[in-house]
Structure 1
Amino acid sequence: MKSLLPIIVIISVLFSCKNNDEIPQRQYTKFWKKDIIVDSTLNIRAIEVIDGNIYYASGDGKNGIILDDGSLVTGLVHSDSLKYSFRSSAFNGKNLFYMSIESPALIYKLDYHQKNKVYLNHNLVYQENHEKAFYDSMDFWNDQEGIAIGDPTDDCMSILITRDGGSIWTKLSCEDLPIAKEGEAAFAASDTNIAIIGDHTWVATGGKSSRILYSSDKGKTWEVYDTPIVQGLETTGMYSIDFYDENNGFAIGGDYTKPADSSANKIRTQDGGKTWKLVAKNQSPGYRSCVKYVPNGEGKELVAIGFKGIDYSNDAGDSWTHLSDEGFYTIRFLNDSVAYAAGKGRISKLTFRE
């Protein structure tokens, strides 16, 4: 028996490798679209799917809920004197938050309405009147701790932190953050400038300089890493970032004024964001405003979306399949085959198929 053991081990390894090679990699080649809401006055970049309901906020200040029965409730946050421009939202498991972009930059906290079983009652929990205020994205680590990011008003990116469930937000001092480079900011294009895995946080900047701000401890300390993505102009850089786990991440962007340019608009990291490399150089897609890992895709499957269409990769971004010319700004996955996309004048349900 002892002499047969090496042979048995070799046969087992070969058989195992053969089986792994024979497992086909899923390849989405098409999708089915169902419009949930169509309204030419909307310009939507912020959506949240909560308990089957779709909460949206629009750049023209309109906001509401598309209930799971198809009915619509509007005006969750309203004002008689202010015209909001909402570009971001976040849900911490207990409350829904909407954030407006420009001075006065506002964060509203929506409470759960027990009778109607939706998030309705709103309270203003943060206001910033700085003339340079411009906020781009927000997210939460847990039900108590969250982050919002915006363009610099001083010598660093604007970063707000809450540690009490979103009732109080505090702006970090530039003494605690990397100094911003000339022309470095962020894009309020899809509410996906922030990626969170556990305590780890990555913030994508863009413009004349496009870098990664990284925190390993929920925003208490920060480091900064360079990227090879196209940069140098106000319209260039990363527009969206996502991480599948603590090591594997992807960012996309480009220059929205040159949407066909794909020379250096897609980057990938495998070491937690410390180093990045260009992928699919000079290959479509060009400019895209949002990228998301497909759930249960083992870090291989990605969907990129923008006003020029929808694209899919099943090899971690090395190659892409153009699925549609349908234009959207942002996307959120419900599961590994169903997502909701929002853009100019509509929110749609997308069902991806092989």
Structure 2
Amino acid sequence: MKVLLVCLLLFGLCSCKSEAPLKSRNISEVEIETLLQDSLLNVRALEIDGDGFGFATSNGEIGVQGFTLPSGINSPDSIVLREIAKKTIQLKHDSIIPNFRSLSINDKGGFLLSISSPTLLYRAGVDSLKLVYKETHPKAFYDSMDFWNDQEGIAIGDPTDDCMSIIITRDGGETWTKLSCDDLPKAKEGEAAFAASDTNIAIVGDHTWVATGGKASRILFSPDKGITWEVFETPIIQGKETTGMYSLDFYDENNGFAIGGDYTKPNDTLNNKIRTIDGGKTWQVVANGKGPGYRSCVQYIPNSNAKELVAVGFKGIDYSNDSGESWKHLSNEGFYTIRFLNDSVAYAAGKGRISKLIFKE
């Protein structure tokens, strides 16, 4: 029962990119407030809404903090929900502890996706926790998940055949269907993706971009919510299993940014940051040989006209106010993933903690 109640709290969580009047600025520091700390905590799946956040861990735990209960909950369980919101709850499937790397939501509930075989995708609804997709292929490994709207969503993973694995729902997450390789671009040898920060997928309207990585690192693009696909080459570093794009974000239908590198050589700064201004058709290397080395997540700051970016990784936090041409190192504090609440506040998660980040000029 407690698992079902805490899952209910994930219902309604979402990341937010609200628009407001633009302002020119230059962030010079970041204040870090630790909200949740535990040496066993390992978080790459994070979603926020309002002043709260939901998360899923590599140890099969889920939790929320600072979350306002959804309207309409008037049962005595509301008191219990408030208590559970302060804790983390362990999930198991038979004897398997899921390694969660992806978390997404819509008005139907919260969705939690584990990585390796058996891949487990749960829907946490108002009154139930349901396993809605399971994949037992020995090569199954899912990296990221997102939704176009309340009914349609997508998750991507490494190839099990000769294409990237892509599953799609059209019924609010009740059922998921894996696309045939006949309908997808063929994967190159050694091409896969990284489950580093749940940011391999970027969605703007009906447009969808998927970042691959490894020995080949390309962009898969769909203009119609996953019905048709094409592929674009990128100049990011690639050629090894540990190289390529680790994170992707789009500000609008034209402006996008990707970051990565080689996590085994985190200080290398060559060819690990790329930008597009034509919707992903072509990409250019920026800040080559300078700025951050390997980073696992990059996000546009809201209301910045595609100018301001923040990148995080286990080597620290970096900021750009010129679309990635130059970067300022703000902190050595390491995180795996980040989500912005507004243009000055974000939540970040990583090994051992979840923190609130306040960016200041």
Q: Do the structures match in fold with TM over 0.5?
A: yes
> Mind listing any 5+ residue stretches in structure 2 that lack a counterpart?
1-21, 68-81
1:181 aligns with 2:180: no
Conserved? CA contact 2:255–2:275, under 8 Å: yes
Q: SS of the counterpart of 2:125?
A: strand
Q: Deviations over 1:261-310 (max 9, x none)?
A: 01100000000000000000000200000000000011000000000000
| Map of 1:277 onto structure 2 | 284
| Map of 1:18 onto structure 2 | none
Percent identity reads 66
1:100 aligns with 2:114: yes
| Map of 2:104 onto structure 1 | 90
Equivalent-residue separation in structure 2 for 1:316 and 1:53 (angstroms): 29
State the structure with bigger RCO (CA 8 A, min sep 6), 1 or 2. 2
| Map of 1:9 onto structure 2 | none
The one of 228, 235, 244 aligned to 1:228: 235
| Map of 2:123 onto structure 1 | 109
Equivalent-residue separation in structure 1 for 2:126 and 2:31 (angstroms): 32
RMSD across aligned positions (CA): 1.5
Equivalent-residue separation in structure 2 for 1:217 and 1:181 (angstroms): 24
Q: SS of the counterpart of 2:182?
A: helix
Conserved? CA contact 2:60–2:90, under 8 Å: no
Q: Deviations over 1:57-110 (max 9, x none)?
A: 111212211234895132264445211100111112331100000111010001
| Map of 1:59 onto structure 2 | 58
Conserved? CA contact 1:145–1:164, under 8 Å: yes
Conserved? CA contact 1:252–1:290, under 8 Å: yes
Equivalent-residue separation in structure 1 for 2:284 and 2:32 (angstroms): 33
Q: SS of the counterpart of 1:72?
A: coil
Conserved? CA contact 2:91–2:97, under 8 Å: no
Task: Specify whether residues 24 and 195 from structure 1 end up closer, same or farther in structure 2 by C-alpha distance, changes over 3 A only.
Answer: closer
| Map of 1:318 onto structure 2 | 325
**1:157-168 aligned within 5 A:** 157-168=164-175
| Map of 2:134 onto structure 1 | 127
The one of 72, 86, 101 aligned to 1:72: 86
Q: Deviations over 1:9-41 (max 9, x none)?
A: xxxxxxxxxxxxxx9731111011111100110
What code does the residue aligned with 1:335 have? N
| Map of 1:118 onto structure 2 | none
The one of 329, 345, 349 aligned to 2:352: 345
1:112 to partner: Cα distance: 3.0
**1:233-248 aligned within 5 A:** 233-248=240-255
| Map of 1:138 onto structure 2 | 145
What code does the residue aligned with 1:66 have? Q
What code does the residue aligned with 1:306 have? G
Conserved? CA contact 1:47–1:56, under 8 Å: yes
Equivalent-residue separation in structure 2 for 1:313 and 1:199 (angstroms): 28
Larger Rg: 1
Equivalent-residue separation in structure 1 for 2:26 and 2:243 (angstroms): 30
| Map of 2:305 onto structure 1 | 298
Equivalent-residue separation in structure 1 for 2:346 and 2:236 (angstroms): 27
| Map of 2:70 onto structure 1 | none
Conserved? CA contact 1:64–1:76, under 8 Å: no
Aligned length: 325
1:201 aligns with 2:208: yes
Equivalent-residue separation in structure 2 for 1:286 and 1:317 (angstroms): 13
> Mind listing any 5+ residue stretches in structure 1 that lack a counterpart?
1-22, 114-120
Equivalent-residue separation in structure 2 for 1:58 and 1:182 (angstroms): 30
| Map of 2:294 onto structure 1 | 287
1:42 to partner: Cα distance: 1.1
